[in-house]
Amino acid sequence: MSGRLVHVGSAVVDYVYRIDALPAAGTEKTASAYARVAGGGFNMMVAASRTGMTVVFGGQLGTGPDGDFLRAAFAAEGIETLTPPSPLMDSGNCVAMISGDAERTFVSWPGAESRLTLDMMAPVQVVQDDWVFTSGYTLSYPGSRDALADWIEALPADIPFVFDPTPVIADIPRSILDRVLARTNWLSCNTDEAAEIAGAGDAQTVAIRLLAEHCPRAEGVVIRAGAHGCLVRMAEGGTRSVPGFKVEAVDTNGAGDTHIGAFVSGLSRGMRACDAARYANAAAALSVTRHGGSSAPTDSEIQEFLAHRDRAASAQGQEQEATT
């Protein structure tokens, strides 16, 4: 494994309620299950860690019960926290409602992760072969966006920086977003987020615009399309649609985070981008068959899943040849 993943995003505590369907306005539902789990950027970090990458956290955790809960979850996964607990407040939290169709609805409350200064980030030192990642959540908070953008711009030129704008992209001031995109080496986003940055169009057209007009330093972009897989566009030219895998989904919470964590882990081991994308598609597919946002599989589970799918595809191909 080459280098660490230095995550400078945010982590929160998820309060997860499972319901058959969202309640109508003014009505009440009784959940069928409840859990308190680590969430936010924790899910991406777990995906990278379980696939073999050393992961450290350079964001802010709070002082209080939620911050303590997150620190224990980090320790359980072997993820080191580089910064001391914020003295300002506790960590934030998010209510996640998972409905019967495996979709999720969120209501969040920002905490310590929304307050950031360059002094707070002083303990976060990157070294050769590190990979740095952040998400749009920390950039959406007025109390953290400027310091984080300054820190990202000051990264050494040879340190690869990976960015996921997340669904809160509309809350990131365009000036901040443009600064971060200009330093991005790999952009991973879903189709809606890609269109928010570069305008509407088919995935390939949008990916080309992302590279040409918004991410001048990027090696490539990944546009995720859920169960349909993803599209990879390289700056040097060439586009490939990487199909997803059909599975029985029970919980899509954290699937995008799992995809990004597995993708970066694959790249750090020298995988070609399209191979890393297929690896990430498999990781995301496995994650949605399990309950919980931090349900990322291990490397061995992903490899076994891919080998099984390859054997099944080979057998089907041989059967088709025999009947022609």
Model confidence pLDDT, tens digit, residues 147-200: 999 999 999 999 999 999 999 999 999 999 999 999 999 999 999 999 999 999
pLDDT, residue 144, reads 97
Q: Is 67 a domain residue?
A: no
Q: Is 195 a domain residue?
A: yes
Which band of pLDDT confidence, cut at 50, 70 and 90, is reported for residue 81?
Answer: very high
On the question of pLDDT at 206 being above 70, the answer is yes
Mean pLDDT, range 313-320, rounded to an integer: 73
pLDDT, residue 1, reads 46
Is the pTM for the entire model greater than 0.75?
Answer: yes
Q: Is 104 a domain residue?
A: no
Range of the domain at 276: 4-10+41-62+77-88+115-317
Residue 113 in contact with residue 140, Cβ under 8 Å? no
Is residue 52 packed enough to be buried (19+ CB in 10 Å), middle (13-18) or exposed (0-12)?
Answer: middle
Q: Is 161 a domain residue?
A: yes
Alpha-carbon distance of 100 to 19, in angstroms, equals 6
What percentage of the chain reaches a pLDDT higher than 90? 87
Q: Is 299 a domain residue?
A: yes
Residue 185 in contact with residue 162, Cβ under 8 Å? yes
36, 132, 263, 214 alpha-carbon torsion, rounded to 10° = 110
Range with the poorest average pLDDT among 12-21, 215-224, 269-278: 12-21
Mean pLDDT, range 76-97, rounded to an integer: 95
Is residue 179 packed enough to be buried (19+ CB in 10 Å), middle (13-18) or exposed (0-12)?
Answer: middle
Mean pLDDT, range 66-95, rounded to an integer: 96
> Cα–Cα–Cα angle for 115, 120, 124, nearest 5°?
120
Q: Is 267 a domain residue?
A: yes
Count of structural domains, the chain: 1
Q: Is 29 a domain residue?
A: no
Alpha-carbon distance of 70 to 61, in angstroms, equals 8
Task: Specify the CATH number for the domain of residue 192.
Answer: 3.40.1190.20
Listed in sequence order, the residues at least 6 apart from 80 whose beta carbon sits closer than 8 Å to its beta carbon are: 55, 56, 57, 74
Q: Is 261 a domain residue?
A: yes
